[in-house]
């Protein structure tokens, strides 16, 4: 289940699940680039994790997408795995849809749906090249049970994550035959700053640790890449 030498990019990589993924994937031997909005946070994580390349950018901003994509491929020399992890709740504190400002819905959609769409599209060439080279290619979109279940006050977040989940399924149908696999995974309720912002009264002891979800996600990435390698080997033996 090791990921030795794989080139992996993670958005929202300076806290919560994103930071846990940076650590887990480095531990498994991957080359990692991570993206976050705040320069001082990016620089701190890069200092604390030698070998991880920090990129300052906001996936919710259209003009940031291509500079982010260029830095990812430039620093990693290509791309095998993209993890779209950066998320926004929309309104904070959470609010019923009727009390939610349009700008808060726009922020949730820009961060949770359009950002992953734009960044994935910008990196599809690199991912497809990796698949053709036999390395495999995976895009992991971090979803939520709010994408499936209708929770009061989670409207902006839930609607944006539902759209991301379905978009992942469509993209997988379109590109899996070319070797680019799409995963949409729900890490569950975790003890993260985002969850604390959404549910400030939650008991951290009842929440999953980000490190646990990071290990599970790394296993899922390895399994998806393993499936791709098996397919390639079968095709080679058949020709």
**Could you tell me where the beta strands, DSSP code E, fall in the chain?**
7-11, 31-36, 52-56, 81-84, 137-142, 180-185
Q: DSSP 3-state assignment of 230?
A: helix
231 burial via Cβ count (<10 Å: 0-12, 13-18, 19+): middle
Is residue 157 flagged as an active site residue?
yes
Half-sphere exposure of 15 (CA within 13 A, CB side): 13
Tell which residue, 221, 229, 228, 210, has the closest CA to residue 1: 221
Quick check: 65 and 72 in contact, CB under 8 A?
A: no
Task: Say which DSSP state 5 is in.
Answer: T
Q: At what angle do helices 155-175 and 102-109 cross, to 10 degrees?
A: 30
CA–CA separation, 97 and 155 (whole Å): 6
CA–CA separation, 21 and 14 (whole Å): 10
The active-site residue out of 34, 53, 154, 157 is 157
Q: Which residues are known catalytic residues?
A: 157
């Amino acid at each position: 289940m090791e990921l030795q030498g794989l080139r992996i990019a993670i958005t929202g990589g300076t806290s919560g699940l994103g930071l846990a993924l940076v650590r887990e994937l480095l531990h498994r031997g991957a080359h990692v680039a991570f993206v976050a909005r705040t320069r001082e946070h990016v620089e701190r994580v890069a200092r604390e994790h030698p070998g991880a390349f920090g990129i300052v950018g906001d996936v919710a901003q259209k003009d940031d997408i291509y500079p982010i994509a260029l830095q990812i491929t430039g620093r990693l020399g290509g791309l095998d795995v993209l993890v779209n992890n950066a998320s926004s709740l929309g309104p904070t504190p959470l609010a019923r849809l009727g009390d939610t400002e349009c700008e808060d819905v726009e922020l949730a959609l820009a961060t949770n749906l359009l950002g992953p769409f734009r960044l994935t599209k910008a990196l599809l060439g690199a991912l497809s090249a990796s698949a053709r080279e036999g390395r495999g290619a995976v895009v992991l979109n971090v979803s939520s049970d709010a994408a499936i279940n209708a929770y009061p006050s989670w409207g902006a977040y839930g609607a944006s994550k539902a759209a991301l989940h379905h978009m992942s399924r469509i993209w997988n149908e379109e590109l899996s035959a070319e070797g680019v696999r799409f995963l949409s995974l729900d890490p569950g309720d975790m003890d993260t700053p985002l969850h604390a912002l959404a549910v400030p009264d939650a008991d951290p002891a009842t929440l999953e640790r980000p490190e646990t979800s990071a290990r599970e996600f790394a296993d899922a990435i390895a399994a998806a890449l393993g499936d791709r390698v098996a397919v390639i080997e079968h095709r080679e033996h058949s020709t």
